[in-house]
Amino acid sequence: TQLLEQSPQFLSIQEGENLTVYCNSSSVFSSLQWYRQEPGEGPVLLVTVVTGGEVKKLKRLTFQFGDARKDSSLHITAAQPGDTGLYLCAGEGTGRRALTFGSGTRLQVQP
């Protein structure tokens, strides 16, 4: 069974601060996706990383896939209240029949 562990579970920071969310596993994934979910809504895809060591940037968000494709990180620079939400990482295993999700990091950015 493939598992993804996210840390931290909760994060409350002030506007303008930087933060990093981690997603770790002992399993290798074909790709890893990051989602953001607002209360009462479905997850919205932010990015997909495929190659070990890959780095992708989405405005103030930087995503990195570990060299061994077992872990990933999400770094937010100068967080804003609009970044508040639940951040989920999800790994695509072999066979592509399901995504394995982490338990999420709930981020609150105070103005």
- For another protein, the binding residues (CB under 8 A) are 4, 6, 30-31, 33, 35, 40-45, 48, 50, 88, 90, 92, 95-104
Residue (40 or 111) nearer to another protein, CB: 40
Q: Where are the alpha helices (DSSP H) in the chain?
A: none
* Shortest spacing between CB 21 and another protein, in angstroms: 13
* Shortest spacing between CB 55 and another protein, in angstroms: 16
Residue (16 or 53) nearer to another protein, CB: 53
Residue among 43, 39, 40 nearest 90 (CA)? 43
* Shortest spacing between CB 91 and another protein, in angstroms: 10
Taking the C-alpha atoms of 25, 97, 10 and 109 in order, what is their torsion angle to the nearest 10 degrees?
120
Would you call 94 helix, strand, or coil by DSSP?
coil
Distance CA 35, CA 99 (A): 12
Residue (3 or 78) nearer to another protein, CB: 3
Q: Give the pair of three-digit tokens for residue 62.
A: 């930087």
Residue (95 or 111) nearer to another protein, CB: 95
